Amino acid sequence: MNKIFPKKLRKGDLVQVVAPASSLGIISQENREISNQRFQKMGLKLVFGKHVEEIDEFNSSSIESRIEDLHEAFRNPKVKAVLCVIGGFSSNQLLKYIDWNLIKKNPKIFCGYSDITALGNAIFAKTGLVNYSGPAYATFGDKKGFDYTLEYFEKCLFSKKSFEVLPSKKQNFFQKRRIVDC
């Protein structure tokens, strides 16, 4: 299989937010405002899928709505990256409805994590498009501890230069704990 590498982002690029798993409706207004500000600081413009706010009893939306937004994001030549709202547990429902040729003919950055991994793996397997397991739109609204994530998001998606991934300089719970075998 030939790998397809999407073009890197540049200031002024358009990023479309889609909700292939959980809805934007579960994300607080405060979180959205912080996320939007961070994208603005990076020089990126956001647009949201038509159905991202729809919400059902599973905190998602219909398969048809989710597929429509995903396809629209890949179809739109102005969109340079597709970013998922957040994970969830229903993105696998989309797999048999995805137009793989549409994605292959319109390669762009696709990024998300958690349940979105099912889509990322399928996109790569079906099209060869290299995609990213990384922060979701909602993650950009984190109040604390986001600097490290933002640094590597920018290095990975804006730069063509190689870089080494280093551990965060801030200690986390696991670094503070000393585990001893008994």
**pLDDT (0 to 100) of residue 149:** 95
This prediction has a pTM of 0.92
Q: How far apart are CA 4 and CA 22, in angstroms?
A: 27
* Token representation of residue 178: 């000393």
pLDDT given at position 152:
95
Cα gap 162→119, rounded to integer Å:
26
* Tally of structural domains, the chain: 1
3-class state of residue 122 by DSSP:
helix
In a domain, 62, yes or no: yes
pLDDT beneath 50, residues of the chain: 175-182
Q: Does residue 30 lie in a domain region?
A: yes
Task: Please check whether residue 4 lies inside any domain of the structure.
Answer: no
Would residue 6 count as lying in a domain?
no
Predicted local distance difference test score (pLDDT) of residue 171: 62
CB neighbour list of residue 28: distance below 8 Å, 6 or more residues apart: 141
Does 53 map to a domain? yes
| Residues 114, 126: Cα–Cα separation, whole Å | 20
Say what the pLDDT of residue 140 is.
Answer: 98
Q: Look up the domain containing 139 and give its range.
A: 14-176
Residue 8, helix vs strand vs coil:
coil
Q: Give the CATH number for residue 67.
A: 3.40.50.10740
Report yes or no on 182 lying in a domain: no
The pLDDT tens digits of the residues spanning 43-57 come to: 999 999 999 999 998
